[in-house]
Amino acid sequence: MIIGSVGREPELRYTPNGAPVVNFDVAVVSHTWQTLDGERKEKTEWFNIVAWGRLAEICKTHLSRGNQVYIEGRLQTRSWEDETGKKLFRTEIVARDMKLLGERRQDADYDFDDLDDDSGI
């Protein structure tokens, strides 16, 4: 279970047999602290989310970058080889439940443009 902000617009695709699947990322502030000089710091963790079937279509329709969202699901690690033969791994949350928690935050604290687009999706 995680609660965080959607980091990029959900990308909906269909498998060859027509099953909908959506991918998106969620940013979760995992730790906050104050430095000795009083500056507030945050550590943000990024989670790769995958949803299938009707939930995939709901995520695509109702989620946008910046939305606060609750995701519940299971962890899954996939592996594959890239074009050079290097083995790559990706751990993701396969969602079984999603709840939109609030309106889109225009003043989000996260820099979503820094998200690594080489994530293998």
Q: Closest by alpha carbon to 8, among 45, 44, 43, 48?
A: 48
Confidence of residue 47 (pLDDT cuts 50, 70, 90): very high
Averaged pLDDT for residues 43-68: 96
| pLDDT at 105 exceeding the cut of 50 | no
Percentage of the chain with pLDDT > 70? 84
Mean pLDDT of the chain: 86
| pLDDT at 26 exceeding the cut of 60 | yes
Contacts of 80 (CB under 8 A, 6+ apart): 87, 88, 120
The DSSP H or E segment spanning 57 is helix 53-62
Query: Vertex 45, ends 113 and 105: CA angle to 5°?
Result: 55
Q: Give the rounded distance of the alpha carbon of 92 from its chain centre.
A: 8
Kindly list the domain boundaries of the chain, sorted by start residue. Answer: 2-31+40-104
Q: Give the integer Cα–Cα distance in Å for 88 and 118.
A: 11
Confidence of residue 16 (pLDDT cuts 50, 70, 90): very high
pLDDT at 56: 97
pLDDT at 30: 87
Q: Give the integer Cα–Cα distance in Å for 50 and 10.
A: 9
Contacts of 62 (CB under 8 A, 6+ apart): 100
Confidence of residue 119 (pLDDT cuts 50, 70, 90): very low
Averaged pLDDT for residues 88-113: 73
| pLDDT at 99 exceeding the cut of 60 | yes
pLDDT at 103: 61
| pLDDT at 53 exceeding the cut of 50 | yes
CATH of domain 2-31+40-104: 2.40.50.140
